[in-house]
Copies of this chain bind each other. A is one copy, B any other.
């Protein structure tokens, strides 16, 4: 990558509560979040639109969703583009919006993440989620997405002697934080015992190791103009890995996550110890623990202890998933990456309400597509 000195800021953000929105269609969910983001930054008109959606085709039988959202928000004839990288779609959409502004072709860009998942039966949702994995090499043989995560969790537990309790504690932390989140799907605390005693999904993964299924939408407005309570996009990273888990050298780390984080830290000119708040992609608790190691916060094999020691708690050195994470804020797949960055924006601009981490300057969001097949790392900096 060449040097890029242009400064780009977040001017506003909005989202809806994640949940079962059976009374609203895909376009309505997206527009509600988009208009909230635009209302939060009066006077700035987006010059292009990105919409992040994992699978509107399978969830809603609708393509061309970026056009749909432009139309519904009365933003037409704005250039509009849908971006997809499975559950990593949101981070990718934010990245494209950044690149558009950085190119100088536009001064402002809106990114909207949206997914409407609950119109399908749970068994159908499992099928859609499996499209994030390698159909020909792995899914064809019968494995589910949870099953692939279970293989990684088993491998990690065998290699590093992490305990089931340590995994559960990651989920417990996310739920504890969600209580203070106005848009969380499950704003209630759970206990380690509840996680351990919840039904098995795919051994050793239990129901409460998994994020829920939900509908949601979030939006962020980027601009090349600095504004009041500005938050700067300080670092961006993006890397890929094999789609099939079986093609990888290691089952106990995500190399794309490590690379994306390194790129983002290099661009921001900071180190992991400088991060004040982390949004990690905890679709399953194994992904939460791996995030702490791959992003550079915990030593390899020690993420369980890191969690057990309370270091990811609101009073710890690295408050993590401050609005509930995928586990408790919810994981409307293609929208999640946009939620994460919006949450960092609220933290770094002092707008996080009861979830506020006082004095936070740098935040990092990690968004994963597939089993780490594509990962984006985004570092924001508050610039009061």
Residues of A within 8 A of B (CB): 1-4, 6, 25, 27, 47-48, 54-55, 57-58, 60-68, 70-71, 75-86, 88, 92, 95-96, 98-100, 102-107, 128, 131-132, 134-136, 236, 238-244, 247, 255-256, 259, 369-370, 373-374
B2/A76 in contact, CB under 8 A: no
Q: Residue on B with the closest CB to A65? A: B84
With a 10 A CB-CB cut-off, give which of A54, A65, A66 has the most chain B CB atoms.
Answer: A66
Question: In the complex, A92→B247 CA distance in Å?
Answer: 31
Smallest CB separation, A41 vs chain B (Å): 19
Q: Are B80 and A67 in contact (CB under 8 A)?
A: no
**Shortest distance from the beta carbon of A140 to any chain B beta carbon, whole Å:** 10
Q: Which residues of B contact A238 (CB under 8 A)?
A: 48, 79-81
A247 vs B132: C-alpha distance when bound (angstroms): 35
Chain B residue nearest in CB terms to A70: B240
Contact B81 A83 (CB under 8 A): yes
Report B-chain residues with C-beta under 8 Å of the C-beta of A134: 68
Task: Across the interface, name the chain B residue whose C-beta is closest to A97.
Answer: B99
Find A4's partner among B54, B99, B103 (CB 8 Å cutoff): B103
Flag if B104 contacts A66 (CB, 8 Å): no
Q: Looking at A60, A62, A88, which has the most chain B CB atoms within 10 Å of its CB?
A: A62
Given A92-B81, A259-B77, A374-B80, A54:B63 Cβ within 8 A: yes
| Given contact pairs A2-B106, A71-B247, A102-B103, a sample of 19 additional A-B residue pairs in the complex whose CB atoms are under 8 Å apart | A4-B103, A4-B104, A63-B84, A64-B88, A64-B370, A66-B84, A66-B374, A67-B243, A68-B134, A68-B243, A71-B242, A79-B238, A81-B84, A81-B95, A81-B374, A83-B83, A83-B84, A99-B103, A102-B105
Q: Is the Cβ of A79 less than 8 Å from the Cβ of B239? A: yes
Q: Establish whether residues A63 and B55, one from each chain, have CB atoms under 8 Å apart when the complex forms.
A: yes
Determine how close the nearest CB of chain B comes to the CB of A9; give it in whole angstroms. 15
Q: Which of A57, A92, A238 has the most CB of B within 10 A?
A: A57
Instruction: Pick the residue among B1, B65, B75, B256 that contacts A77 (CB under 8 A).
Output: B256
**Do A239 and B77 touch (CB < 8 A)?**
yes
Query: In the assembled complex, which residues on chain B have CB atoms less than 8 Å from the CB atom of A65?
Result: 84
- The reply to whether A242 and B135 contact each other, CB–CB distance below 8 Å, is no
Complex Cα gap A88–B64 (Å): 9
Pick from B83, B136, B240: contact of A67, CB under 8 Å:
B240
A57 and B58 form a contact (CB under 8 A): yes
